[in-house]
């Protein structure tokens, strides 16, 4: 039945995609129906991963969806900390080229959305365009925002500090514009979800990915959404050898580790 029904939900021919699904249980609004989680990927995508694993001398066992891997990590965290699992959570993975949003409760996802501009790509493009510099120079400017990106030499003059301040202000403005765009998407998704039912309310937003560390973004969201906002730390659910991994390292690595840990939680042939 899944394979006969799925074509109406996909923008591709069935011969062009791989699909997988998981039964989530009965639909409380329609007792005779079932909730089904469907995942579809154009065949080129898993084929590329498979070829990469083969070239590396590895055997591919599982391909997961990043936002679901992150959801598994979060659920491990709340189970370890015996937190309330009945709350609706907005999980946001802010990657370099894309932001993935997932509103879920427990094991059930209710709304998923991708924003196709991430923490690095759009800012680097805007910086490169603003200053008329190559993409690679824009990357360095973003990493070292105290450098004068209008000049490639390191000679200082009396105007350099002033120029650097102006450059810093422009880069900060670009970052602010990006955060504004993200924030609008977050608010729109939350409002759309909550307007669908009087019972549902998003109570927490959990951020992950490198973009979660952009200065001021967490406070930026807090000023616009009346919810608790935190940055994920998947290491709290693990036993970590302190002599091998310092607290400082774990703190810095935490926002990036969620998806990898979620994938590591999977077992061969599980669902």
- For 33-60, the pLDDT digits (tens) are 888 888 889 999 999 999 999 999 999 9
CA trace torsion 36, 191, 200, 193 (10° rounding): -10
Find, among 44, 47, 45, 23, the residue nearest to 33 by Cα.
23
Given a cut of 60, whether residue 23 has pLDDT beyond it is: yes
Give mean pLDDT, residues 210-226. Answer: 84
pLDDT at 255: 93
For 91, the 3-state DSSP assignment is: strand
């Amino acid at each position: 039945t899944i394979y006969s029904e799925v074509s109406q939900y996909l923008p591709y021919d069935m011969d062009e995609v791989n699909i997988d699904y998981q039964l989530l249980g009965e639909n409380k609004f329609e007792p005779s129906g079932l909730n089904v989680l469907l995942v579809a990927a154009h065949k080129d995508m898993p084929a590329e991963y498979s070829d990469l694993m083969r070239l590396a001398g590895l055997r591919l066992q599982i391909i997961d969806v990043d936002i679901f891997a992150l959801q598994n990590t979060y659920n491990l965290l709340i189970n370890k900390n015996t937190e309330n699992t009945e709350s609706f959570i907005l999980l946001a993975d802010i990657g370099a080229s894309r932001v993935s949003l997932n509103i879920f409760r427990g094991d059930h996802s209710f709304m998923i959305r991708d924003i196709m501009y991430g923490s690095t790509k759009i800012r680097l493009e805007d910086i490169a365009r603003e200053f008329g510099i190559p993409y690679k120079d824009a990357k360095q400017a973003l990493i070292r925002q105290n450098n004068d990106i209008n000049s490639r030499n390191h000679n200082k003059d009396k105007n350099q500090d002033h120029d650097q301040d102006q450059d810093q202000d422009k880069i900060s403005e670009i970052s602010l514009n990006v955060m504004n765009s993200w924030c609008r998407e977050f608010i729109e998704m939350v409002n759309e979800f909550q307007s669908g039912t009087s019972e549902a309310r998003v109570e927490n937003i959990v951020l992950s990915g490198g973009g979660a560390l952009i200065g001021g973004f967490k406070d930026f969201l807090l000023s616009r959404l009346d919810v608790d906002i935190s940055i994920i730390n998947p290491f709290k659910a693990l036993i970590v050898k302190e002599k091998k991994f310092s607290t400082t390292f774990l703190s810095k690595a935490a926002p990036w580790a969620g998806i990898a840990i979620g994938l590591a939680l999977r077992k061969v042939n599980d669902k």
